[in-house]
């Protein structure tokens, strides 16, 4: 399913007018009490202060929304707002050129810009310069903004920077005066504010907060840490998981069952091995009967090629029967290295040729399950020795039990282990076990931080991501909506600021998932709930 079809299915399933968790929905405004106080503080400091104003918070904390609110709440008659982005102009030359164009200065220099700001101030016009993604600016650009905020005798600009916590350290090193800027740090939403934020998001898309249970809302707040951007991601994932779970139950009623290819391959190998072992165990030998004739009488030559394995004895009933090549090899009475030279000896001293021995050896000889029974000739037949017994007469002779001739069956070798071992090793080699890092997470300090980069229902996906990206990645399992959710994290950081700074070092593919920082305390609590 393509992403477009997936979005359509998501909107259709919940009957949304639009995706409620899109990062920037036109017309959406949510200002809890704490953000309203920050907005009022910015207006107050801009009016009465002389410092550059820095607003910091992690990615997805609502800095852009606050910047939009600041512009929207200014008095348009007395304030002119100029918005820049660190993604579009990161050098000092770019910043000065954009600012000069915005205030209509004569040239893109500090002196010309400040002179024009002084002229506008005489007419009651103030200039607000707001820079989004200010962490992407070069040091020379930051120095130019500090100079514009400080001003000269003629005029100054009210400069607002929005970035992450690491930007404050850079300004400290660049500002000649420790009081060159004032920092305002954003705080995450409380659980009550998270609920209100979700309610307003869902109402804007045509639904109500009842779409989420209390447990789901608590889980969203815990996973997101109360930051708006993370709330959007986790809430959307929660609703998508609920939709897939509901559709999965419907498919199961229609007998729709699918397995990954590697699991199907392992199952096929195991089935083939079991069937092979079953056939080998069921190939049991059939008993053979031996026929003994009076001394001096021999079987015609045609008997060597007949289907029935009939042997003749010329001595008393206590004589041993002829042992053919396969049976002799099994019982150890012949040299297994030279089977073609073995001959069969009769009790009268006669020997068969090598060709005859081969012919006899070609007749199948099933191993008997019990001792053979000897066949004796009636007494009236034994008294005459004038003529050989014809084939038809030999086959029609009455059979009487006799315990004189016994052949001990050779031991039956069952190659079960050799047949099973390759199958078992093949199954084991398909999916190597990677244990969940429960012990590793439990050993971490609760006050430290990690970056959550992925939450998935498939343990194979979590294991593959960890194996692909290296030892800094781990994953754990938590209970989520009646099933398991496998969460992949990156690194161990002493503070949230260090974790946020490490976001930029992640691969672009992982950054696209908008990871966020969370404490090991919350991770350990999630692991305990899942047990």
Q: How far is CA 210 from CA 9, 15, 86, 228, 464, in A?
A: 20, 14, 40, 19, 36
Is the domain of 447 the same as that of 524? yes
Indicate whether 378 and 446 sit together in one domain: no
- Same domain membership, residue 178 and residue 53: yes
- Residues listed for the chain: 531
Q: Is residue 205 part of a domain?
A: no
Q: What predicted TM-score, i.e. pTM, was given to this entire model?
A: 0.47
Strand order in 483-493's β-sheet? 473-480, 483-493, 449-456, 516-519
Confidence band, pLDDT 50/70/90 cuts, at residue 94: very high
| CATH number of residue 521's parent domain | 3.30.70.1070
Residue 274 lies in a domain: yes
Same structural domain for residues 56 and 171? yes
Q: What Å distances lie between residue 373 and 292, 368, 396, 405, CA to CA?
A: 10, 11, 16, 7
- Give the ranges where 49-124 is alpha helix by DSSP (H): 63-72, 92-103, 110-122
Residue 1 lies in a domain: no
Residues 315 and 267 in one domain: no
Give me the number of domains the chain comprises.
4
- Is residue 193 situated within a structural domain? no
Residue 475 counted as domain residue: yes
Residue 12 tokens read as: 């259709």
Last residue of a domain, one of 131, 153, 185: 185
Examine the domain organization and report whether 426 and 315 are in the same domain. Answer: no
CB 281 within 8 A of CB 412: no
- Bridge partners, residue 266, by sequence: none
pLDDT tens-place string over residues 246-299: 877 555 544 444 555 666 677 888 888 888 888 777 665 555 554 444 444 444
**Do the domain assignments include residue 246?**
no
For residue range 63-77, list pLDDT tens digits in order.
988 998 899 999 888
* Whether residue 312 is found in the same domain as residue 424: no
351 & 425 share domain: no
pLDDT tens digit sequence for 295-315: 444 444 444 444 444 444 444
Which of 185, 203, 218 corresponds to the end of one domain? 185
CATH number (domain holding residue 106): 3.40.50.300
Residue 149 lies in a domain: yes
If asked whether residues 61 and 175 sit together in one domain, one would say yes
Residues 6+ apart with CB under 8 A from 406: 371, 372
Which token pair is 28? 């959406």
272 and 299 assigned to the same domain: no
**388: containing domain:** 286-411
278 lies in the same domain as 424: yes
Does a structural domain hold residue 39?
no
Whether 333 and 312 share a structural domain: yes
Give the end of a domain, one of 136, 168, 185.
Answer: 185
> Average pLDDT of 508-527?
85
Q: Per residue in 133-161, pLDDT tens?
A: 999 999 999 999 999 998 887 889 999 99
Residue 491 tokens, joined: 């690194």
């Amino acid at each position: 399913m393509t992403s477009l079809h997936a979005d359509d299915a998501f909107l259709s399933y919940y009957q949304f007018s639009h995706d409620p968790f899109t990062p920037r929905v036109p017309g959406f405004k949510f200002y809890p009490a704490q953000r309203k106080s920050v907005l009022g503080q910015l207006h107050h400091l801009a009016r009465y202060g002389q410092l550059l104003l820095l607003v910091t918070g992690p990615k997805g904390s609502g800095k852009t929304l606050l910047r939009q609110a600041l512009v929207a709440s200014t008095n348009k008659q007395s304030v002119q707002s100029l918005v820049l982005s660190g993604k579009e102009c990161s050098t000092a030359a770019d910043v000065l050129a954009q600012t000069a164009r915005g205030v209509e200065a004569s040239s893109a220099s500090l002196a010309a810009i400040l002179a024009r700001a002084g002229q506008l101030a005489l007419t009651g016009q103030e200039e607000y310069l707001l820079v989004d993604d200010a962490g992407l600016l070069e040091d020379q650009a930051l120095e130019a903004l500090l100079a514009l905020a400080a001003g000269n005798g003629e005029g100054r600009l009210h400069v607002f920077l929005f970035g992450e916590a690491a930007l404050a350290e850079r300004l400290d090193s660049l500002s000649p005066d420790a009081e060159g800027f004032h920092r305002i740090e954003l705080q995450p939403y409380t659980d009550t504010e998270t609920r209100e934020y979700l309610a307003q998001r869902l109402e804007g898309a045509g639904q109500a907060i009842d779409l989420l249970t209390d447990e789901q809302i608590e889980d969203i707040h815990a996973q997101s840490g109360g930051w708006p951007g993370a709330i959007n991601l986790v809430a959307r994932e929660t609703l998508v998981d609920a939709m897939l779970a509901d559709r999965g139950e419907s498919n199961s009623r229609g007998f729709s069952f699918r397995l990954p290819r590697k699991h199907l391959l392992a199952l096929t190998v195991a089935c083939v091995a079991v069937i092979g072992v079953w056939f080998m165990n069921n190939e049991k030998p059939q008993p053979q009967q031996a026929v003994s004739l009076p001394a001096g009488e021999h079987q015609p030559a045609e008997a060597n090629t007949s289907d029935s394995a009939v042997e003749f004895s010329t001595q008393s009933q206590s004589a041993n029967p002829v042992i053919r090549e396969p049976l002799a090899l099994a019982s150890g009475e012949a040299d297994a290295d030279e089977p073609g030279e073995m001959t069969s000896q009769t009790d009268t001293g006669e020997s068969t040729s090598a060709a005859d021995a081969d012919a006899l050896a070609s007749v199948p000889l099933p191993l008997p399950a019990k001792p053979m029974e000897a066949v004796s000739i009636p007494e009236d037949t034994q008294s005459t020795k004038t003529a050989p017994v014809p084939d038809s007469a030999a086959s029609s002779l009455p059979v009487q039990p006799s315990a004189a001739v016994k052949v001990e069956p050779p031991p039956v070798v069952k190659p079960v282990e050799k047949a099973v071992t390759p199958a078992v090793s093949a199954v084991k080699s398909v999916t190597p076990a990677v244990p969940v890092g429960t012990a590793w997470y439990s050993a971490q300090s609760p006050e430290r931080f990690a970056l959550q980069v992925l939450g998935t229902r498939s343990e194979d996906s979590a294991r593959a991501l960890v194996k692909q990206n290296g030892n800094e990645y781990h994953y754990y399992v938590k209970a989520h909506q009646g099933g398991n959710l496998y969460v992949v994290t990156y690194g161990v950081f002493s503070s949230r600021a260090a974790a946020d700074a490490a976001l930029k070092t992640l691969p672009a593919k992982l950054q696209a998932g908008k990871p966020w920082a969370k404490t090991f305390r919350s991770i350990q609590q999630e692991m305990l709930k899942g047990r």
